[in-house]
C-alpha cells in the first residue's frame, strides 16, 4: 500500500502539472485509472487531449539548386551528435510563413530564401519522457508545418547568432538526411523528404 500511495502521489503531481487541473476529482480518477495506465487517463469519461506546440520547420536547399540538390542540416548546440532542420515555434499573431522567416533569421542568420513548396498537412510528434526541454513543460509535443525553401544566390549563413541553436552545419544529399536525427523525429523527416521527392522537387 505504501508503494501504491507513493506512485499515485507522483502521478498526481505529474498529471496536475501537465494538464493544469487542480481538483480533488483528479485524485479519484487517478486511483480509478491506476490499474489501467496503458490507456490514456480519462476525466469525466473523456480522454485527455494532448497539447502540441505550433511550430515551423524548413528543408533548406543550397543556392546551387536545381543543378546540385543539397539539403542543409545543422547540429544542435545542446545535443552532441544530433542533427536537424532549422525549426521553431510560431508566436501569437504570426502566420506560419512569417514564423518561418523569423526563425531562419534567428537560427541561421538569414531569411534570404525562396519558398518552393510546403507539406500539405501539419505533422505532429510527442516528446519522449526525459527529452522535452523544460521550456515546453506545458506541451506533450510539437505540431509542425514544413516548408521547402531555396537559399537565394549570395545568401550568407551565420549560425553564430545572438542565441546560437547550432554548433555547425553542412549540406548533404537527401539520402543522408536521416543520419544523426533524433529517433522520434525520423518518421516525420522520412515522410517530408518522401513527399518532396514524389513531387519532383528533390
Tell me: the pLDDT tens digits for 73-121? 999 998 889 999 999 999 999 999 999 999 999 999 999 999 999 999 9
The reported pLDDT for the residue numbered 41 is: 46
Rounded Cα–Cα distance for residues 158 and 74 (Å): 12
Instruction: Cell numbers for 202, please give them.
Output: 528533390
Instruction: Cell numbers for 19, please give them.
Output: 494538464
Handedness of CA 62, 143, 126, 10 (dihedral sign): positive
* Confidence tier at 24 by pLDDT (50, 70, 90): very low
pLDDT(156) > 70? yes
pLDDT(1) > 50? no
Query: What tens digit of pLDDT does each residue of 42-76 get?
Result: 444 555 688 999 999 999 999 999 999 999 999 99
Is residue 123 within 8 A of residue 143, CB to CB? The reply is: yes
Q: pTM to 2 decimals?
A: 0.75
The reported pLDDT for the residue numbered 32 is: 40
Q: 52-199: what CATH class?
A: alpha beta
Phi, psi values for residue 31, rounded to 5°: -65, -45
Q: Where are the domains of the chain?
A: 1-35, 52-199
Alpha helices in the chain (DSSP H): 2-19, 24-33, 96-108, 186-198
Instruction: Cell numbers for 121, please give them.
Output: 498537412
Phi, psi values for residue 57, rounded to 5°: -140, 150
Amino acid at each position: 500500500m505504501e508503494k501504491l500511495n507513493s506512485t499515485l502521489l507522483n502521478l498526481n503531481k505529474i498529471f496536475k502539472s501537465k494538464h493544469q487541473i487542480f481538483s480533488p476529482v483528479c485524485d479519484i480518477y487517478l486511483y480509478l485509472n491506476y490499474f489501467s495506465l496503458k490507456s490514456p487517463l480519462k476525466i469525466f469519461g473523456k480522454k485527455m487531449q494532448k497539447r502540441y506546440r505550433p511550430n515551423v520547420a524548413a528543408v533548406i536547399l543550397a543556392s546551387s539548386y536545381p543543378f546540385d540538390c543539397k539539403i542543409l542540416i545543422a547540429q544542435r548546440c545542446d545535443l552532441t551528435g544530433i542533427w536537424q532542420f532549422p525549426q521553431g515555434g510560431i508566436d501569437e499573431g504570426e502566420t506560419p510563413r512569417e514564423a518561418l522567416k523569423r526563425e531562419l533569421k534567428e537560427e541561421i542568420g538569414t531569411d534570404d530564401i525562396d519558398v518552393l513548396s510546403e507539406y500539405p498537412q501539419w505533422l505532429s510528434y510527442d516528446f519522449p519522457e526525459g527529452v522535452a526541454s523544460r521550456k515546453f513543460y506545458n506541451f506533450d509535443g510539437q505540431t509542425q508545418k514544413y516548408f521547402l525553401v531555396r537559399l537565394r544566390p549570395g545568401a550568407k549563413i551565420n549560425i553564430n547568432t545572438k542565441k546560437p541553436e547550432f554548433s555547425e552545419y553542412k549540406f548533404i544529399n537527401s539520402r543522408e538526411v536521416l543520419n544523426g536525427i533524433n529517433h522520434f523525429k525520423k518518421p516525420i523527416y522520412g515522410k517530408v523528404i518522401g513527399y518532396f521527392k514524389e513531387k519532383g522537387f528533390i
